[in-house]
Structure 1
Amino acid sequence: MQILKEDVRQSILRAALDEFKSHDYMDASMRRISSAAGITTGNIYRYFKNKEELFEALVRPVYEKLLENVLDLKKELDHCYTPQNQGINYLKRVEDTIVGLFDAYSAELTILLNRSTGSKYGQAKADLVQLIVNILEDAFASGWENASKLTPEQRQSARMFAGTIVEGVCLILRENEDGGTVKRLVNEFVYLYYLGIGSRLTT
């Protein structure tokens, strides 16, 4: 009986994954999810008390891994920053983190960054932008201890680069499902920003 219950739960999660890939959190329908899972709408609530809990079961693992990986990277940058374009190298590792997570959680990462508006994870994209802003500010300042000396223009540049990078990656995730294609496009996209960031670091 327990095995059968777990099978039903996994069917619900698979159906929910498809639903949230196709619809924003606010527009997703528990009725459509239950129909795709082959159960009644009433029965779905025996496994998940509401849409929020179901959405969280899907995206929480990738959200936690994304923040954990980027925060670890930020701590590493704070403690062992060296000049000579280290900011660009760390940004490349942020990119590698996103691509690596896509390999393991392709649908979940796409949902988290593109379909979570209205949920408790609606700020995930903004959180990622802010973490990248912090990394770029450290890079522009040649280390976190000098970040307070940044000019308003440098801070605006960091926010512009970070926001555009995250939005670009979200667009790539939204329009492509093949891992190899995603990796190639992200590499090409971020490389273009390396050029701009590299010139900004030398001014």
Structure 2
Amino acid sequence: MAQVLKEIQRDKILEAAKQELLQYGYRDASMRRIAAQAKMTVGNLYRYFESKDQLIQAITSPALTQLDQLVRSLTDDRISLNQTNTSVGLSIGELRPKIDRLARDLTELSVRMPQEMRILMLHSDLSEQISSWLVSLLEVLAKEWALFPFNRDAEFHALCRMFSASLFQGVREVFSQAGELDPDQLCEVLRIYFGLFLNMFSPAAKGDQR
């Protein structure tokens, strides 16, 4: 019985934390306000979660796990959020048919975990980790596709950061307005966005097959 009550209280904390994060963001979220919303003292809150970071991780970890499974399934385990990718071995021509599924799977995930996905994308330091991972991935793909004809690292890395930032910011933007779109609309917006982004690279990509 005690364990059941503990789990109920933990769920109340997580729900209060989600509302706090959605309203104030990660940096301005207050453990004191979360405790008040969960109707407990701050001291008791810290018995469940030692820090705000631990609380954030508890909220976003399920969504991050689902997102990683989505990416791994889509790329036949060639790409994972949990590892640094040193090679991918997928051409633009091979990735293009996967765009519809990527848009559909992301939409389904946002429907199953709407608050968690918004927090992950918009209000958590984990979004910065995803952004950094995306830069590393694009650097690998850019080399494999011979996108940028530079021998100097500075220009190459600058372009990879620019394109990665624009891709991730676009996804963040649509998730920030996800409530204004029904699932079909969200899926279509993502499909068009990913398709246009991939098309930017097609003329320069080595080995691209339309």
**TM score, norm. by length of structure 2:** 0.72
1:124 aligned onto 2:120: no
Rate the CA distance shift 1:159–1:71 in 2: closer, same or farther, 3 A.
farther
Match for residue 83 of structure 2?
Answer: none
Shift of 1:33: 1.0
SS at match of 1:85: helix
Shift of 1:154: 7.4
Match for residue 21 of structure 1?
Answer: 22
Mapped contact 1:74–1:135 kept (Cα < 8 A): no
Shift of 1:194: 3.3
Structure 2 counterpart of 1:190, from 183, 188, 194: 194
Structure 1 or 2: more helix by fraction: 1
Match for residue 50 of structure 1?
Answer: 51
1:86 aligned onto 2:94: yes
Match for residue 34 of structure 2?
Answer: 33
Mapped contact 2:70–2:105 kept (Cα < 8 A): yes
Describe the superposition over 1:56-93 as per-residue Cα deviations: whole angstroms up to 9, x where unpaired: 11112222343454356275486764x57124345665
Distance of 1:133 and 1:156 partners within structure 2: 10
Moved more, 38-47 or 5-14: 38-47
Distance of 2:130 and 2:16 partners within structure 1: 23
Distance of 1:74 and 1:133 partners within structure 2: 20
Mapped contact 1:15–1:33 kept (Cα < 8 A): yes
Describe the superposition over 1:104-158 as per-residue Cα deviations: whole angstroms up to 9, x where unpaired: 32222221222123xx6642222134324434543x24xxxxx9xx622777655
Give me the identity figure in percent.
26
Q: Which amino acid aligns with 1:23?
A: Y
Q: Which amino acid aligns with 2:122?
A: N
**TM score, norm. by length of structure 1:** 0.74
Moved more, 173-182 or 69-78: 69-78
Structure 2 counterpart of 1:134, from 132, 136, 140: 140
Mapped contact 1:59–1:112 kept (Cα < 8 A): yes
Alpha-carbon RMSD: 3.3
Q: Which runs of 5+ in 1 are unaligned?
A: 142-146
